[in-house]
Amino acid sequence: MDNGVMDSNITDAPEYLDQLIVYEIATKNFTSPTGPESGTFASLEEKLPYLEELGINGIWLSGHQLCREGHFYNIWSEYACIRPDRIDPTLGTEEDFRRLVQNAHSRGIRVFLDVITHGVMKDSPLVQEHPDWFAGESWGMKDYDWYGNHPDLDAWWINTWLWYVREFGVDGFRLDVAHYRNDLWAQIRKGAADFGKKILIIAESGPAIRGVTDILQHGEVISHNYGLNRSHRMLYDAAGYCADRQTRANERYQVKIFYEDGTVQDSSRNHWHQPEKVPEVIEEGACTRTEEGAASAAWQVQTGRLRVENI
Task: Indicate if 23 and 159 belong to the same structural domain.
Answer: yes
Task: Indicate if 160 and 106 belong to the same structural domain.
Answer: yes
Task: Indicate if 57 and 202 belong to the same structural domain.
Answer: yes
User: Which residues, at least 6 apart from 63, have a Cβ–Cβ distance to it below 8 Å?
Assistant: 25, 26, 27, 28, 39, 76, 78, 88, 91, 114
Indicate whether 287 belongs to any domain: no
Give the C-alpha separation, 117 to 84, whole Å: 10
Indicate whether 108 belongs to any domain: yes
Taking a C-beta distance cutoff of 8 angstroms, is the pair 83, 125 a contact?
Answer: yes
Taking a C-beta distance cutoff of 8 angstroms, is the pair 198, 192 a contact?
Answer: yes
State the total domains in the chain.
2
Task: Indicate if 197 and 242 belong to the same structural domain.
Answer: no
Taking a C-beta distance cutoff of 8 angstroms, is the pair 239, 257 a contact?
Answer: yes
Task: Indicate if 198 and 257 belong to the same structural domain.
Answer: no
Indicate whether 272 belongs to any domain: yes
Give the C-alpha separation, 287 to 280, whole Å: 21
- The domain spanning residue 38 has which CATH number? 3.20.20.80
What is the amino acid identity at position 108?
G
Task: Indicate if 163 and 31 belong to the same structural domain.
Answer: yes
Indicate whether 186 belongs to any domain: yes
Res 251: pLDDT: 64
Range of the domain at 260: 237-277
Res 87: pLDDT: 98
Res 70: pLDDT: 87
Helix 151-168 and helix 182-194, axial crossing angle in degrees, nearest 10: 40
Q: pLDDT tens digits for the chain (311 residues)?
A: 344 445 678 999 999 999 999 999 999 999 999 999 999 999 999 999 999 999 999 999 999 999 999 899 889 999 999 999 999 999 999 999 999 999 999 999 999 999 999 999 999 999 999 999 999 999 999 999 999 999 999 999 999 999 999 999 999 999 998 889 999 999 999 999 999 999 999 998 777 789 999 988 876 666 665 566 767 777 766 667 777 776 666 666 677 777 778 887 776 665 555 666 666 667 787 778 899 999 899 998 877 777 777 65
